[in-house]
Structure 1
Amino acid sequence: MGEELICRWKLSAFLFLWATIALFPRKSLAIDSIKAGESVNGSTQILVSAAQNFVLGIFNPQGSKFQYLGIWYKNIPQTVVWVANRDNPLVNSSGRLTVNGEGKITLLNETGGVLWSIPSPGKVEQPVVQLLNTGNLVLRESGSENYLWQSFDYPSDTLLPGMKLGWDSKTGMNRKLTSWKSTNDPSSGDFTYSVEMDGLPQFVVRRGPITTFRSGPWYGNGFSGSGPLRKTAIYFPKFTYNAHEAFYSYDAGNDISVRLVLNAAGLFQQFYWVDDGKYWYTLYTLPGDRCDVYGFCGDFGVCTFSLTAECDCMAGFEPKSPDDWEKFRWSDGCVRRDNRTCGNGEGFKRISNVKLPDSSGYLVNVNTSIDDCEATCLDNCSCLAYGLMELPTGGYGCVTWFHKLRDVKFVLQNGQDLYVRVAASELDSTNKKLTVAISVSVASFLGLLVLVICFILGRRRKVRGGNMISPEITLGEIHSQEKEVEMPIYDFRTIEIATNSFSFWNKIGEGGFGPVYKGKLTNGEEIAVKRLAKNSGQGVGEFKNEVTLIAKLQHRNLVRILGYCVKNKEKMLVYEYLPNKSLDSFIFDESKRALLNWRRRFEIICGVARGMLYLHQDSRLKIIHRDLKASNILLDANLNPKIADFGMARIFGQDQIQANTNRIVGTYGYMSPEYAMEGLFSMKSDVYSFGVLVLEIITGKKNTNYDSSYLNLVGHVWELWKLEKAMELVDPSLEESSSGYEVMRCLQIGLLCVQEDPTDRPTMSNVVFMLGNEVGVPSPKKPAFILKRKYNSGDPSTSTEGANSVNDLTISIINAR
């Protein structure tokens, strides 16, 4: 009996040991090299670099049915840096990596078919294939450090420290990155990133044959407009350019994992691994803004980016299609105002601090022996512009451009001077718009801001009856002190015909002050008509004054008012028609939200911020909107945001900080607590509303009616932010298009705006600065949010006219103190 128990115990122990070994088949080989005649079996074996930081083996992308031979980080999950057989995958993990006696490395499938191999290395006595600590797979002779082949010469989508991107004239090798087809498909994608040598060296991203991004050209001491050569404490880039080589490479700080990746969307990004937080931090992304999109402003255009991209024409040029430029469609570019530029006394105008134009071979000529660059360009009637290039040997060379000047932008760092050929008639004139653009990019609005401040300070002491302007003065009342501006008056019959007698089918919305209709005038122009309710309480005189004053607010992110109509008790506002309706119709609609990718949503956030900054600070009046919300952000044909509905707006004196009111008006969910409960409103009330709007744009969820049993959206974002899980709330449709770092940064800015104490909230100028610059963002404090409410009736997202109460967490009536 005892022997039987012993036998059973031994059998159980054997079975347990066998099962344990079977659970970890890939642990069976953990060496860093193989020799001739040896192989790596994809289903059971891997190579691991000596420092235990990189792995070579067979991997299966999530959601894919195929297998690939690749290299990835050992201790960083799901980060593949190189793929061998990216366009010829395994159908299972039975592949074998072999090296024969001649040093030929081959990947075989289960039937012995060749899926991938390296070029023949020639005669090799004792070949060794080794995975280095750098992530480089190399072939070498035993005992030698000379590489006969290396994976670093054949990059996939990732550039690691020590890799080269560029040309070797001796071997004819052109090392470039090629994107994955998609996040889960390593096959060759649509985009490439390379160093182009036809002309001046420049980095170029292409989608097939089409250029989508280019750095500025190499000018001897760096890349014009910075490009990817931004030295940091953890990243040390360099560019080697001589008769034999032209390549870019970089080193990283000790024990820091850094990688550069061309992703499936064509974005070139730099990351480093944050070990404490276990995530990849995005250092930069190219294209970084709309001005980086190749040819955004067309030929002879110059791009300026300050939250949004804007185009201007170079000196001596004007828009080719003025109507398109009025609608912010700039791709047609510019044409000369005066074509007499050959032997007619022409000269040059300088544009400073720009990324130099496209310097491809047929566009540019480089001559290092010419002393007088200006005279050389002037002697050739085809020469459009010139610049000076610093030579590695010292001194300067001459660079001249022909055919067209394309892809120029103002930059704050590493900008150069470009001398543009203009007609004699242009030499004594000043391109005022371009001068403003230069001051914007170089001085960050400082000059313009000084002018605005001086204008405001000169007017702020205007008094009424010996007293400062009252905080409760309406837009109409203050207008009586201002000079009348011309505002079109529409005939009632004209509006009636345009809207098909205010047909139900023409109705496109409704707010607290009445319905809005789409209309079409007899000249074909489309309009939006806001028909104020007859019980709105405004008199005809006050209404006319309000319209005239609003017309003075001119900003690209504010809806433009075209005129008004008054007949008896009928009062109507006529606005430009925006075909894409309001923001809420996109972000809260399951079928349409995917139309707004992250880049577009970020531009909407920036545009709204810029419009609010104009109202608070940059317009001639300090205006508090009081009803900023998703339904009051309209989108034009290009999905650019425009703030609408100033029916509740109030004017502040320039020295005024806050005011109180007996009429609490606005929208539940967007109201700041001090306004909803105490009737106190200020610029910081608008900032609170902006913060709620940012969180809604990112999550695709309404702050009110939020699907949570205990918190509204603001509260839920805060709770997950504390747990470092806020990304869980990001709209799933943004997964492919978003930068995690940029989204987290915007979430943080949104939380700063909804802090409970108004003094803790940033101003809109602070918000605009944080959105547009890579600066540190303060940590937010606990926001103002109330536990989930119950509603009496109606849609809680609609505007309310009257006072409100919080006794049982239901908004109804509050009398301000």
Structure 2
Amino acid sequence: MKIFFIFFFFFLLIQSCCSDNTILRTHSLRDGDVIFSEGKRFAFGFFSLGNSKLRYVGIWYAQVSEQTVVWVANRDHPVNDTSGLIKFSSRGNLCVYASVNGTEPVWSTDVIDKISEPALVAKLTDLGNLVLLDPVTGKSFWESFNHPTNTMLPFMKFGFTCQNGLERVMTSWRSPSDPGFGNITYRIERRGFPQMMMYKGSTPWWRTGSWTGQRWSGVPEMTNKFIFNISFVNNPNEASITYGVLDPSVITRMVLNETGVLQRFRWNGRDKKWIGFWSAPEEKCDNYNHCGLNGYCDPTSPDKFECSCLPGYEPKTPRDWFLRDASDGCMRSKTASVCNGKEGFVKLKRVKIPNTSSVNVDMNITLKECEHRCLKNCSCVAYASAYHESEDGAKGCLTWHGDMLDTRTYLSSGQDFYLRVDKAELARWNGNGSSWKKRLFYILISLIGVVLLLMISLFCFFRKRRQSNRLRKAPSTFAPSSFDLEDSSIFEELEDKSRTREMPLFELSTIAAATNNFSFQNKLGTGGFGPVYKGVLQNGMEIAVKRLSRNSGQGMEEFKNEIKLISKLQHRNLVRILGCCVELEEKMLIYEYLPNKSLDYFIFKEEHRAELDWPKRMGIIRGIARGILYLHQDSRLRIIHRDLKASNVLLDNEMIPKIADFGMARIFGGNQVEGSTNRVVGTYGYMSPEYAMDGQFSVKSDVYSFGVLILEIITGEKNSYFFEESSNLVGHIWRLWEKGEATEIKDKLIDEETYDESEVLKCIHIGLLCVQENASDRPDMSSVIFMLGHNAIDLPSPTHPAFTAGRNRNVKNGGSSGNWPSGETGSTINDVTLTDVQGR
């Protein structure tokens, strides 16, 4: 038996010697020697950065053409030349020495306990993890995943463990050519309720928000479940997160760079480069504590200033806030009394809740019990659920008992946050939407004084008198002073439309009352034009109000365009305009309210997509097609929409689609069917190649956008989503089409009882015909309507779609490029200069 064991051990030893992914305890690794992981995905050894002669030891991607280092051992102690050596010390630590004869290592794994196992090896895994282990028992003594540098790889656990004191923290490099310890760190906070924090030195720089059950509340993009399988652990001994990759062929990494930006990259094997698909912080509201104590940040605020005080609070220094400086923060309103038994809670929706480092946590009570607990404690200023998106709904209780830091709002993410306010503030917030801004207005007026008020009044009087003389016949309900002279044509057109009842005019007071004074609770969203609010008129009619942002030059152009266009358009599949309001500084368009929101709300959200069975999807496709045909052919005007996309298709209570947002549309006269522009507007992913590249647009540009919409409706995926070996959804479907497997892409949530494979295949076929590279190859909308109503036997074969394998710039709109071989690209000569490209 003893002989057998010795033989078995010797066999393992020989096997290890022969493996190129291990370093034996009795062997060493010289500069120039490299070991590879079993699948040749990662490499370990000495390397240099740029033109430097300094040598570092680390791990890098072996399958990526450009050297991408993911872990560095001797970060602050490089070797000066190529005489370095990697070997085990007598204590069993893997060490880096500056020379072959060196006695003091420049770096060591520093395992505290002496390791006596003679068979100890250092093994590089296919995950990019260097592990010290006993190959017989599999016991691990040390691993590089527990000591990250500036990169987080898939399946790397990130966070801390209380029992052994291990804390996995990312630290930036000093510079792109110096991997030494930089001053940017990223870690899970130990205090309070878990959240991830980025620091510049000791200063908080960015915060993910707390864990909601599915994602960090401040990282809306984590709703994408098609790349990562996320595992979060939070118990008394451990708080950690792991990002697994669902597709092993996907090469991705997260990097903390030296400027204080966290970035996620994905390797594009076709173009041989890293593609960034997420980063933070990105905007002002991402910056930690941007709006000061007890303030919150709203990047979609209709005001020019993104900062506001939380309900029940007012600026500490109103003068600074007037100057757009919120750094001094907010304080509890001087007149507020929040512990008299008459207070309540204001709910802020879609919020990254404040810093949770000092919150009280109770995971064993409900949200309602949390509210009662907060009311009973006079020091409690706010509460929220701990896990907002758990399988059982809201779970656990977080309560705040002092100043609140780093709160912000989102359009479609975050969680509910409840703030304690007195009875008067609760009535104001739930009533007419008043807040500290109104009180600040009165304070500023009193500070400015009578002299300044008189100067403003005189200025407004003379300006109004001067422009009134120029505009002459402006309607009395308007304030001409709010328009530039060039906008006088709008008054004349609105006056004519009002007389002929084409465009009813609403008074500002009517719209303000209908929208609860444009309250936050009534806000539906924000577009390039400005914010959109839901309103209810006195007769009970529900309306949607598009309010032009005062600082939106793009929005002003949209406003003029929609007034010219949409009042003349009437079709079941176009959104109906009810009127407009132009008064004081306000410019608004009033539409019918559609309760089912927009198409993207359904097809890009898994929880809603299941509501769309195949007949409903087919009805939506046909309805959109009929609406576009009306614009192109059957209306009094020939109109090219130029911004067809899922968010611009609204759905009524019967799921009938209605095309909206005509701010980018263009009118054609006579037999004109195409035009050009040097101001490209629209949304990338829906733009046709001739429009995006050359500024050439036509009815076929809308056909291209419609083709993308068809494929998105069938699959439930965005065209901008990345697919391995394909740049987008269209390219992915094209690859499957060539293999005869196109129906595999259909949405798995479609009810199989309603599924019609032949009809789905026909729609995919039509979608590919619509997104062909050359405009002349695409069908017009009348042909599309015909194809949708008949079988697919006689449909022409589609040619290669645009934006997938390249674009043949030598073939203009007049001809076809034919079917390109897979992977072939056309010429990329750019002979047109676009002076203004505006993606949305």
TM-score range, shorter chain: 0.5 to 0.7
Q: Structure 1 residues 482, 690: closer, same or farther in 2, change over 3 A?
A: farther
CA distance in 1, matches of 2:397, 2:176: 44
- Which secondary structure state, in structure 1, belongs to the residue aligned with residue 679 of structure 2? helix
- Which secondary structure state, in structure 2, belongs to the residue aligned with residue 429 of structure 1? helix
- Structure 1 residue aligned with 2:197: 204
Structure 2 letter corresponding to 1:138: V
| Pairing of 1:339-418 with structure 2 (within 5 A) | 339-343=336-340, 345-361=342-358, 364-368=359-363, 372-390=369-387, 396-412=395-411, 415-418=414-417
Shift of 1:106: 0.9
- Which secondary structure state, in structure 2, belongs to the residue aligned with residue 612 of structure 1? helix
- Structure 2 residue aligned with 1:470: none
Shift of 1:174: 0.5
Structure 2 letter corresponding to 1:106: C
CA distance in 1, matches of 2:413, 2:280: 16
1:316 to 312, 318, 339: 312
- Structure 1 residue aligned with 2:479: 485
Aligned pair 1:48/2:47, yes or no?
A: no
Q: Structure 1 residues 88, 53: closer, same or farther in 2, change over 3 A?
A: same
- Structure 2 residue aligned with 1:143: 136
Structure 1 letter corresponding to 2:124: L
Tell whether the 8 Å contact from 1:344 to 1:424 is kept in structure 2 after alignment.
no
Shift of 1:342: 2.8
Aligned pair 1:108/2:97, yes or no?
A: yes
Tell whether the 8 Å contact from 1:319 to 1:335 is kept in structure 2 after alignment.
yes
Aligned pair 1:277/2:271, yes or no?
A: yes
CA distance in 2, matches of 1:182, 1:98: 29
Structure 2 letter corresponding to 1:316: G
Tell whether the 8 Å contact from 1:475 to 1:546 is kept in structure 2 after alignment.
no
Q: Structure 1 residues 295, 422: closer, same or farther in 2, change over 3 A?
A: same
- Structure 1 residue aligned with 2:115: 123
CA distance in 2, matches of 1:191, 1:421: 36
2:260 to 260, 266, 270: 266
CA distance in 1, matches of 2:365, 2:238: 25
Aligned pair 1:334/2:327, yes or no?
A: no
- Which secondary structure state, in structure 1, belongs to the residue aligned with residue 680 of structure 2? helix
Mind listing any 5+ residue stretches in structure 2 that lack a counterpart?
A: 1-16, 436-467, 493-548, 566-634, 641-663, 713-717, 722-727, 731-770, 776-808, 811-831, 833-840
- Structure 2 residue aligned with 1:615: 557
Shift of 1:249: 0.8
- Structure 1 residue aligned with 2:294: 300
CA distance in 1, matches of 2:50, 2:19: 24
Aligned pair 1:57/2:45, yes or no?
A: yes
- Structure 2 residue aligned with 1:90: 79
Tell whether the 8 Å contact from 1:108 to 1:115 is kept in structure 2 after alignment.
yes
| Greater mean alpha carbon deviation, residues 244-253 or residues 328-337 | 328-337
- Structure 2 residue aligned with 1:35: 24
Structure 2 letter corresponding to 1:276: R
Shift of 1:548: 10
Q: Structure 1 residues 217, 543: closer, same or farther in 2, change over 3 A?
A: closer
CA distance in 1, matches of 2:240, 2:37: 26
Structure 1 letter corresponding to 2:398: V
Tell me the alpha carbon deviations over residues 413-447 of structure 1, each in whole angstroms, 9 at most, x when there is no partner.
Answer: 553221101122112223689799xxxxxxxxxxx
Tell whether the 8 Å contact from 2:428 to 2:434 is kept in structure 1 after alignment.
no
- Structure 2 residue aligned with 1:556: none
| Pairing of 1:214-229 with structure 2 (within 5 A) | 214-219=207-212, 222-226=215-219, 229=222
Structure 2 letter corresponding to 1:74: A
Shift of 1:90: 1.4
Shift of 1:349: 1.2
Shift of 1:163: 1.2
- Which secondary structure state, in structure 2, belongs to the residue aligned with residue 86 of structure 1? coil
Shift of 1:150: 0.8
Q: Structure 1 residues 187, 29: closer, same or farther in 2, change over 3 A?
A: farther
| Pairing of 1:65-84 with structure 2 (within 5 A) | 65-76=53-64, 77-84=66-73
Tell me the alpha carbon deviations over residues 95-131 of structure 1, each in whole angstroms, 9 at most, x when there is no partner.
Answer: 1111134312110113624211111342322221121
Shift of 1:94: 1.7
Tell me the alpha carbon deviations over residues 56-80 of structure 1, each in whole angstroms, 9 at most, x when there is no partner.
Answer: 1111111434221110011212110
Q: Structure 1 residues 413, 486: closer, same or farther in 2, change over 3 A?
A: closer
- Structure 2 residue aligned with 1:291: 285
CA distance in 2, matches of 1:219, 1:545: 51
Tell whether the 8 Å contact from 1:181 to 1:189 is kept in structure 2 after alignment.
yes
Q: Structure 1 residues 424, 55: closer, same or farther in 2, change over 3 A?
A: same
- Structure 2 residue aligned with 1:188: 181
CA distance in 1, matches of 2:687, 2:107: 45
Tell me the alpha carbon deviations over residues 591-614 of structure 1, each in whole angstroms, 9 at most, x when there is no partner.
Answer: xxxxxxxxxxxxxxxx99953134
Aligned pair 1:239/2:232, yes or no?
A: yes
Q: For the aligned residues, what is the CA RMSD?
A: 4.9
Structure 2 letter corresponding to 1:266: G
Structure 2 letter corresponding to 1:96: L
Structure 1 letter corresponding to 2:554: M
- Which secondary structure state, in structure 1, belongs to the residue aligned with residue 371 of structure 2? helix
Tell whether the 8 Å contact from 1:346 to 1:422 is kept in structure 2 after alignment.
yes
* Identity, % of aligned positions: 30
- Structure 1 residue aligned with 2:765: none
Tell me the alpha carbon deviations over residues 458-486 of structure 1, each in whole angstroms, 9 at most, x when there is no partner.
Answer: xxxxxxxxxxxxxxxx9966963464537
CA distance in 1, matches of 2:686, 2:179: 30
CA distance in 1, matches of 2:184, 2:150: 9
Tell me the alpha carbon deviations over residues 269-290 of structure 1, each in whole angstroms, 9 at most, x when there is no partner.
Answer: 2222222222223232122433
CA distance in 2, matches of 1:71, 1:172: 25
CA distance in 1, matches of 2:121, 2:263: 34
Aligned length: 515
Tell whether the 8 Å contact from 2:94 to 2:109 is kept in structure 1 after alignment.
yes
Shift of 1:151: 0.8
Tell me the alpha carbon deviations over residues 358-394 of structure 1, each in whole angstroms, 9 at most, x when there is no partner.
Answer: 1012xx1113456632232223332210122349897
Aligned pair 1:756/2:753, yes or no?
A: no
Query: TM-score under structure 2 normalisation?
Result: 0.53
Q: Structure 1 residues 688, 208: closer, same or farther in 2, change over 3 A?
A: farther
Q: Structure 1 residues 428, 306: closer, same or farther in 2, change over 3 A?
A: closer
Tell whether the 8 Å contact from 1:752 to 1:761 is kept in structure 2 after alignment.
no
Shift of 1:334: 3.3
CA distance in 2, matches of 1:261, 1:128: 29
Tell me the alpha carbon deviations over residues 279-315 of structure 1, each in whole angstroms, 9 at most, x when there is no partner.
Answer: 2232321224332221223233333334998333332
Q: Structure 1 residues 137, 326: closer, same or farther in 2, change over 3 A?
A: same
Tell whether the 8 Å contact from 1:237 to 1:251 is kept in structure 2 after alignment.
yes
- Structure 2 residue aligned with 1:168: 161
Tell me the alpha carbon deviations over residues 752-810 of structure 1, each in whole angstroms, 9 at most, x when there is no partner.
Answer: 275212556689x99xx99xx99468989799xx99xxxxxxxxxxxxxxxxxxxxx9x
CA distance in 1, matches of 2:182, 2:287: 19
Q: Structure 1 residues 299, 209: closer, same or farther in 2, change over 3 A?
A: same
Tell whether the 8 Å contact from 2:215 to 2:223 is kept in structure 1 after alignment.
no
- Structure 2 residue aligned with 1:518: none
CA distance in 1, matches of 2:129, 2:637: 64
Tell whether the 8 Å contact from 2:46 to 2:58 is kept in structure 1 after alignment.
yes
Query: TM-score under structure 1 normalisation?
Result: 0.54
Structure 1 letter corresponding to 2:54: F
CA distance in 1, matches of 2:413, 2:489: 47
- Structure 2 residue aligned with 1:735: none
CA distance in 2, matches of 1:475, 1:194: 64
- Which secondary structure state, in structure 1, belongs to the residue aligned with residue 306 of structure 2? strand
Tell whether the 8 Å contact from 2:474 to 2:491 is kept in structure 1 after alignment.
no
